[in-house]
Chain A
Amino acid sequence: EPEVTQTPSHQVTQMGQEVILRCVPISNHLYFYWYRQILGQKVEFLVSFYNNEISEKSEIFDDQFSVERPDGSNFTLKIRSTKLEDSAMYFCASIVGENTEAFFGQGTRLTVV
């Protein structure tokens, strides 16, 4: 079964550093998402991406965050100048089209120290 792949599975970074979280969506999918989940809390929507541009974003997704699909296969989330409160699981998801199921990756656990 096709799957969404995220790397790395764990990332530890120092406060103030930049991190890039990587995702490889399912190959024929057209819509891509990033979510985060702070430990013990709900899954929070960050951003959706379609046709090489952001289509929706939440209030969490401020100038500290950016997304990119640099080469037609990878979908990345960049977090600039990380803060302690950015520590969370980050999930990538993709869907093939509107009104279809989303496939989620297994997540990247980001720890900011």
Chain B
Amino acid sequence: DAKTTQPTSMDCAEGRAANLPCNHSTISGNEYVYWYRQIHSQGPQYIIHGLKNNETNEMASLIITEDRKSSTLILPHATLRDTAVYYCIVKGNNNDMRFGAGTRLTVKP
């Protein structure tokens, strides 16, 4: 029921950039792209979101393609504590926010 497709798992070397892709080819004009992560069994943590422009905050950057059918979350300098499941979610103005299976990112020393 999720509107996004993500790789099941990825590895990244500590200190390197982690680039996590997401496909959302059926995204509608008013739908935002959100990224959350879940470390172990903790509550999901918000990372970043955007509509069509690229966004950057203290945690990450979000690059959205011009046609908005895909996006990439970039963690510029991954640390071991960034090991988590990362979820890409498409959400409009309704209150239905559903998680897919996400990408399990493992940061290795």
Contacts and interface: CB of A to CB of B under 8 A. Distances in A.
Determine chain A's interface SS by DSSP, over half rule: strand
Interface string B72-106: 00000000000000010001011111111110000
Given A56-B94, A101-B49, A106 B99 contact: no
A91 B42 CA distance: 9
Given A98-B93, A99-B93, A45 B44 contact: no
Interface residues of B, number: 24
Given A106-B42, A107-B41, A31 B49 contact: no
Contacts of A103: 46
Contact of B102 (A42, A91, A93): A42
Most A C-beta atoms less than 10 A away, residue of B36, B44, B102: B44
A104 B97 contact: no
Interface of B: 32, 34, 36, 38, 41-46, 49, 51, 87, 91, 93-102
Given A102-B44, A103-B46, 15 more contacts: A33-B95, A35-B99, A42-B99, A42-B100, A43-B87, A44-B98, A44-B99, A48-B95, A48-B96, A50-B95, A58-B98, A91-B43, A99-B51, A104-B43, A107-B41
Interface of A: 4, 31, 33, 35, 37, 42-45, 48, 50, 55-56, 58, 89, 91, 93, 98-99, 101-107
